[in-house]
Amino acid sequence: MENKLNREGIKNYSVRFANKTLEDFFNKNENINGQQILTVQPIKQINLFVVKNLFREWQKETSRLKSQYFDYENDRVKEALTDFMNVLSRNISITKDPFYELFIQATEETILLIFSPYDFYIHIVERNDETISRQDLDRIAKYVKVNKNIINLLTEKMATGNISELNGNNLPDLMDDVFASIEQGPEDIEIYLKEFTEVIPLQVNDLYLDDDNEVENKVDVSEVQSNKEDTIDKPTFEWSVETQKTLHEELSDTSKTTLAEIHEQQKVESIRSSLSINQRFMFINMLFDGSEQNFFKTLEDLEKFNGFYDATNYLKENYPDWDYDSEEVLEFIEILEKRY
């Protein structure tokens, strides 16, 4: 009996999860701002995907900027638009209905990324009008925290194979190549399972649909606006599941790589060489006030320390005004942790 991804069940679960998560917030607030988005849910991956999808909507809006009078392709105009985007990113204000839509999409994507990463990448290609460029994939990688080794290897294989874009023709073979090349197992999902279940219990039939079962207990999604997507009937998730078992029982029977082991295997030898272009741009602009000189000087100083403890103390002494709970700082410190 073959288990197939239950896209309708995942969508329905995401709606219930959004209703439960956001009800109290929007009972007290008319809008949500950028900083609140990053902390609205303890599962940080959901918050980051909200930001990713918000940025995608901004890109769609700017792509419509065309004129017979003005040159929007001019380098200085592009630079000004980038600065404008940075200002907008610090002045986000979203009302309830559009934010629910973003949050439901982000929850669906997070579930896919955790429990069926193969289908996550199929999904993002489909959402991007059936193609996605290497540049766009690099941008998405900035927001991916779970099973990050997969997207890193995918972008690497695109670069080495001189593949400019992903589409329905080349993605399946490329993903098969990626999964065949990965030496470590999927990320330990127990913590995510627990966090989802603390809000709304996550069951096997929310995720998978076998040939003998139909989707049950559908919820009414008419009250919440969300994008409708086609069901993907590809076999997913190498860990077998049986519908008579709970999700927790099934996953407890499998051998999983711990987060500590993953971090150890991903240890980097140089902070600077391990950073992507997107990460450099983000850190320079968000943490170092646009100063490349201060950024690279800090990296040089950090490389001199013998351990993670001394390196983080250096940061706290030299950058006391940083928000050490922000995603940018946490990502920077995560790289330090891999270095030491």
pLDDT in tens, 264-299: 445 567 787 777 655 776 788 778 887 778 888 999
Question: What rounded mean pLDDT belongs to the chain?
Answer: 77
- pLDDT at residue 239 is higher than 70: no
Q: In this model, does residue 219 exceed pLDDT 50? A: no
pLDDT range class, residue 12, cuts 50, 70, 90: very high
**Average pLDDT of the residues in 107-133:** 86
What pLDDT was estimated at residue 188? Answer: 66
* Bridge-based pairing state of the strands 208-210 and 165-167: unpaired
| Cα separation, 102 vs 108, whole angstroms | 10
More confident: 19 or 129 = 19
Residue 9 pLDDT greater than 50, yes or no = yes
- Section 106-119 average pLDDT: 90
The more confident residue out of 171 and 285 is: 171
Mean pLDDT of 110-120: 88
- Listed by start position, the domains of the chain span 1-214+221-266, 268-339
The pTM assigned to this predicted structure is: 0.60
Asked if 306 and 299 count as a contact pair (C-beta separation under 8 A), the reply is no
Residue 90 confidence (pLDDT): 74
Q: Which H or E element spans position 3?
A: strand 3-5
Q: Which residues pair with 200 in a beta bridge?
A: none
Query: For 235, which DSSP code?
Result: B
Contact call for residues 249 and 193 (beta carbons, < 8 A): no
Tell me which of 29-43, 67-81, 92-106, 136-150 is least confident. Answer: 67-81
Per the model's pLDDT, the better-predicted residue between 67 and 247 turns out to be 67
What count of other Cβ atoms lies within 10 Å of the Cβ of residue 314? 16
